[in-house]
């Protein structure tokens, strides 16, 4: 009986100490922020490639966990953004597959970020059919809205949706989402990522204010 009780206790302690999915991917999230906001652009592609491999290894060790797949998709998409050119499309395709695979396991993982990632890929014309046609726009809008439905107070979905609306020249709508993102508090442990994101938000807001001033400027006359 004592031996059984000891085994039960050890099992309980082991379960209690087990890391949550978000804790398991935290080193990947932290490293992503260090690369994105701490390294020169010319050094980022190789580091994002290594990070994607790290996320893939974690996904293989945890086949029923969506979070590593989401981060693999994020790292691959970031690598695509850093490299550009034809290779960006190939990497974006891999990112799309990882994000879609994660949705089959848990669409709410990491506050629904897989939908944000898929929205960004479509918004930037990096998934089939390539380009910026109507199908890409429809899918981007669908994914952005799904992401915001899951995490309406998330800094990333509000920022990226606002940025996308700005690209469509829907300036006032874009400003609303960007201002909301700017006011949101930093996530515990994600201060570096959120600080970098706020600088990006401010940059887009500055462009919007400049465009709105041009629109409001009287034409003709003196």
As a dihedral over the C-alpha atoms of residue 64, residue 66, residue 72, residue 78, rounded to 10 degrees, the angle is: 170
Residue pair 23/188 in contact by the 8 Å Cβ criterion: no
CA 122 to chain centre: 13
Is 106 a residue whose pLDDT tops 60? yes
Question: What is the pLDDT, as a whole number, of residue 18?
Answer: 57
> In the structure, what pLDDT confidence band is assigned to residue 28 with cuts at 50, 70 and 90?
very high
Q: Mean of the pLDDT values across residues 155-184?
A: 96
CA 102 to chain centre: 13
Check residues 125 and 215 and name the one with the higher pLDDT.
215
Query: What's the rounded Cα separation, in Å, for the pair 100 and 69?
Result: 9
Is 110 a residue whose pLDDT tops 70? yes
**CA nearest to 75, candidates 106, 54, 101, 104:** 54
Residue pair 111/151 in contact by the 8 Å Cβ criterion: yes
**Rg of the chain over all Cα atoms, to the nearest angstrom:** 20
- Among 57-61, 98-102, 163-167, 213-217, name the one with the lowest average pLDDT: 213-217
Question: What is the pLDDT, as a whole number, of residue 136?
Answer: 84
> pTM value?
0.86
Token match 């700005």: residue?
166
């Amino acid at each position: 009986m004592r031996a059984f009780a000891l085994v039960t206790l050890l099992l309980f302690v082991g379960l209690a100490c087990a890391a949550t999915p978000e804790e398991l991917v935290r080193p990947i999230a932290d490293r992503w922020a260090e690369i994105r906001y701490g390294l020169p652009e010319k050094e980022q592609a190789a580091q994002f490639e290594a990070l994607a491999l790290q996320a893939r290894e974690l996904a293989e060790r945890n086949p029923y966990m969506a979070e590593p797949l989401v981060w693999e998709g994020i790292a691959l998409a970031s690598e695509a953004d850093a490299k550009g050119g034809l290779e960006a499309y190939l990497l974006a395709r891999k990112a799309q597959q990882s994000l879609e695979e994660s949705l089959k396991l848990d669409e709410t993982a990491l506050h629904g970020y897989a939908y944000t990632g898929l929205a960004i890929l479509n918004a930037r014309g990096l998934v089939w059919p390539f380009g910026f046609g109507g199908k890409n726009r429809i899918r981007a809008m669908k994914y952005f809205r799904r992401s915001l439905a899951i995490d309406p107070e998330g800094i990333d979905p509000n920022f990226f949706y606002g940025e996308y609306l700005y690209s469509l020249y829907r300036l006032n709508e874009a400003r609303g989402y960007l201002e909301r993102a700017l006011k949101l508090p930093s996530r515990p442990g994600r201060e570096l990522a959120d600080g970098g994101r706020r600088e990006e938000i401010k940059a887009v807001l500055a462009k919007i204010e400049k465009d709105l001033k041009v629109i409001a400027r009287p034409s003709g006359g003196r």
